[in-house]
Amino acid sequence: MEPGTGLRTERFQAALSTVEPGAADERTADWFQAVALGFHEARYDPKHISAVVEAYGQDGRWLTGVYDDEAPEYAWNPAAPVATYATMTHELNTGGALLPVHQITSVTVRPTHRRRGILRQMITSDLSRAKDEGFAAAALTASEAVIYGRFGFGVATSERTVEVDARGRLELTVPPSGTTAVADLAKLESLAPTIFRAHLERTRGAVGRQVGYAKRAAGLWGDLPEPEKDVRAAIHYSPSGTPDGYVSYKFLPWETEPHTLKVLDLVAVDDTARLELWRFLGSIDLVERITCPAAPEADPLPWALADRRRYAVKAHEDQLWVRALDPAAMLRARGFDADGALVLGITDSLDLASGRWLVQVDAGAAVVTELQAGDALPPGVPAVEMDAAAFGSLYLGGVSGQLLSAAGGVRGPADAVGTLDRLFAVSRAPYCSTHF
């Protein structure tokens, strides 16, 4: 932060104490407590923090804290940061490649310290660092939808919360395939990442996962890093005997009416495995309703149900937000379903992704040439311009250029926007089930 503000910034990795075995060091413990305050969560029990520290180390997370050295006498824990921020790296399936993406998470600013430029300083300095380190894109999942658009992030994927009426069991119109077995939870922790990796490699929009996901799927972690004894799971095997999907779930208390099973995590390599896991869930006795909070927009389930009215969408929310740092590298990594040429311009208030590029797609791959300010447009090639946030939304194919044009994010003549749509259209909406 600026000199004279009383605020200082530290960037570090979570660490265990060197003097108290099994405990986090004081700086790390204070950072976790500040995050809990910002997200209205219970204060961490010290016995839980060490497990989270170890997981953060495996995730390769970097933590940032902004500290107020002029906190008043009775302020809560002056050693705890008044703002927090964290980053890590996983891969994003772009439809053409697995692109390393700079992930942002755990962003909080204490209400007593708002309107002081703290968030802007944290995010702009971090994005500049990520660009310098060679990242082509940044990504986050947002707890509030009004914050990140002004920093150039655009909604790139969405998800649904669905409820399925399971009374009398589910009848699917597709024939059974492979086999499903109740999972040995002790073994699922090591198997889940393998299945998810296969899902990641085949699913546009999917993002690699932090280690906590496998622990939660296996019932080793819940909201806190301690076992949840009511978690169950099942694994689907392909006809050749290869595990190609899993679902973890819990039965809600008996007083819940109708009797409800909640899906905690469902990962499938393909549609067949996804539907077979639903077939299993719909065959469980004493279950009248199944809820799933992270279903894809392009979900085959309602189309495979004999009675599609059993499937109800209860909520539709944004999921993955994407921010360009190197648009040319992003375009080269993307897979395209149509060929063509377009001049694409991006305006960026942070000047991280501003520029114009000639994009020529052939056989699903893009050749990208940067155009300088004085360069003439190639004859006969349509041109569009868009905001950085609009490019983030358009990139994976989750929204059309026509809609973004109507909303003001994309600018250009109708024929150019039509070419943009043809180039960026995808056969299925992107899907990201990873929250971070």
- The residues assigned a catalytic role are 148, 436
- Number of other residues whose CB lies within 10 A of the CB of residue 134: 11
Question: Is residue 272 helix, strand or coil?
Answer: helix
335 labeled part of a ligand binding site: no
Q: Is residue 279 annotated as involved in ligand binding?
A: no
Give the burial class of 267: count Cβ atoms within 10 A of its Cβ; 0-12 exposed, 13-18 middle, 19 or more buried.
buried
Cβ atoms of 433 and 294 closer than 8 Å: yes
Q: Is 205 annotated as a binding residue?
A: no
Can you tell me the distance from the alpha carbon of 289 to that of 310, in angstroms, rounded to the nearest whole number?
9
Please tell me whether residue 59 adopts helix, strand or coil conformation.
Answer: helix
What would the DSSP string read from start to end of 67-132?
Answer: EETT--TT-S-TTS-SEEEEEEEEEEE-SS-EEEEEEEEEEEE-GGGTTSSHHHHHHHHHHHHHHH
Q: State residue 212 phi and psi, 5-degree precision.
A: -60, -25
Q: Is 144 annotated as a binding residue?
A: yes
Q: What angle do CA 81, 82, 83 make, to 5 degrees?
A: 90
**Is 361 labeled as ligand-binding?**
no
d(CA 305, CA 172): 5
CB 355 within 8 A of CB 370: yes
Q: Are 135 and 102 in contact (CB under 8 A)?
A: yes
Please indicate if the annotation marks 428 as binding a ligand: no
* Residue 95 annotated as binding site: no
108 marked as part of a ligand binding site: yes
Phi-psi region of 115 (alpha: psi -120 to 50; beta: other; left: phi over 0): left
To the question of whether residue 228 is assigned a binding role by annotation, the answer is no
Residue 183 contacts residue 315 (beta carbons within 8 Å): no
115 is in an annotated binding site: yes
- 354 in a known ligand binding site: no
Binding residues for acetyl-CoA: 107-109, 115-120, 143-144
Binding residues: 107-109, 115-120, 143-144
